[in-house]
Structures are given as structure tokens and as C-alpha cells.
Amino acid sequence: MARMGTSAKGKARRQQILATAMERLGADGYRNTSLRGIGRALGVEPAHILYYFDSREELLQKVIEKWDQNTIEVFGGGPVPSDRTLDLYADAIRYNQRIPGIVHLYLTLAAEAVHPDHTAHAFFVERFRTVRELLRDAISFEQSAGLIDSALDADMESRKLIALADGLQLQGLVDPTIDAPRDLEAAIAGLRTRPIR
């Protein structure tokens, strides 16, 4: 069993491994990133990584959790929605274009985690709920400000934006000429230009 690294030194080492794994995924892509490659970048054997993580799969799941935490901190828009929250969501998708290996890993894990017994299932259930609520509250805020049609179902529109963002990112990985954030920005602009009743 991997050791979680409860000491300050152990925690720092886990964070260093996670940061290096994120760098390698960003540079080499999901399919080309191995424990051996991460170990080479750290100057250690793969067994050293497995001292802190049970498997490559656990390490990759922790990478996605760390990436998600970083994204929420940078682009989450804060606890109170504003007329910038939806734009920050599009900004986060634009940032993701610089790390296609992480996006590939995220989409792959999300698809695999549909099974309730998958180790990442609970994480994705919570992540989708958090992002949906963030977008729903932002849409409701803009509805109250008269920027988005109040007749629209804010929760449904938030689910649509998540589906659009994830689907566009997948298409962008397959065909790099697709500008996922631009298309998402257009969808957000479309929400704001619907007739107000």
C-alpha cells in the first residue's frame, strides 16, 4: 500500500510528484506519459513514485483532482456569482487548450468513472454538481440583472454549457482547428442576446 506522506517532507514529495506528472502530461500527452517517464523527470525509479501512490491510475486521478482544484481557484469566479462568472468559465476552457494531455486524461477518466464502483466516480459526481451549481447561480444572477432571459431554466442551461464545453474540448483534441473556447463564448453570448420577456 502506498504511503500518503503525512510528514511535511512526505506531503511535499507527493506534491512534487503530482506537479511533475502534470508537466509530463502537458508536454507528452496522456498516452505517452508513463511512471518511468515521470520518474526520469524526477530522477527516481518508478518504485519511488509507488511509495506515495498505489498505482499509475491513482496518480493520474490525483493529477485530475489537483488540476480541478487549481482551475476552481483561478477561474471559479468566487463564492458570489457576477456578470463575469460565465466568461471565466470560457477562460478556463481556453487555458485548457495549453494542456491537451490533461484534458485528454480528464475526458477519459470522466467516461470511465460512470460506473459507481470506479475510484473516481464520487469525484466526478461532486465535480459536475459543483460546476453545474456555479454556472446555474451565474445564469440566475445575470437573469436577475436583465442580461439573460428570465424564462430560461438556469439549471438546464448550466448542464448544456458543461456538455458543450466537454464536447467541444473532445472535438478540439480530435481536430485542433476547432476553437472550443470561441464556440463556448458564442454560446454564452447567445444566452445573453435572447429576447428578455
Residues 9-68: tens digit of each pLDDT: 888 999 999 999 999 888 788 888 888 989 999 999 989 999 999 888 899 999 999 999
Residue 64 domain flag: yes
Domain co-membership, 108 together with 126: yes
Confidence band (pLDDT; 50, 70, 90) for 70? confident
For the four alpha carbons of 59, 119, 103 and 4, in that order, the dihedral sign comes to negative
Domain co-membership, 13 together with 78: no
Last residue of some domain: 54, 78, 97?
54
Domain co-membership, 86 together with 45: no
CB–CB of 30/24 below 8 Å?
A: no
DSSP 117: T
21 to each of 45, 57, 58, how far by Cα in Å?
Answer: 14, 12, 12
* Over residues 112-134, mean pLDDT: 94
The tally of domains found in the chain comes to 2
125 to each of 80, 100, 120, 142, 185, how far by Cα in Å?
Answer: 22, 22, 9, 26, 25
Domain co-membership, 87 together with 178: yes
Q: Cell numbers at residue 3, please?
A: 504511503
Domain co-membership, 30 together with 121: no
Domain co-membership, 34 together with 3: yes
Output the 3-class SS for 153-190: CHHHHHHHHHHHHHHHHHHHHHCCCCCHHHHHHHHHHH
What CATH number is associated with residue 37? 1.10.10.60
How much is the pTM? Answer: 0.86
Domain co-membership, 74 together with 116: yes
- How does 21-39 read in b/e, with b if 16+ C-beta sit within 10 Å? bbebbbeebbeebebebbb
Residue 197 domain flag: no
Residue 113 domain flag: yes
Last residue of some domain: 18, 39, 54?
54
Residue 34 domain flag: yes
> Domain range for residue 9?
1-54
pLDDT at 94 over 90: yes
Return the ∠ at Cα 35 (arms to 32 and 41), rounded to 5°: 85
Confidence band (pLDDT; 50, 70, 90) for 83? confident
Return the ∠ at Cα 168 (arms to 91 and 158), rounded to 5°: 65
Return the ∠ at Cα 65 (arms to 61 and 69), rounded to 5°: 170
pLDDT at 7 over 90: no
Domain co-membership, 143 together with 61: yes
Last residue of some domain: 11, 34, 54?
54
CB–CB of 68/60 below 8 Å?
A: no
| Residue 145, C-beta contacts closer than 8 angstroms, at least 6 positions apart | 83
Domain co-membership, 96 together with 135: yes
Domain co-membership, 76 together with 117: yes
Domain co-membership, 89 together with 146: yes
Residue 84 dihedral angles phi and psi, to the nearest 5°: -105, -10
Domain co-membership, 31 together with 89: no
What CATH number is associated with residue 170? 1.10.357.10
Please, what is the average pLDDT of the chain?
Answer: 89
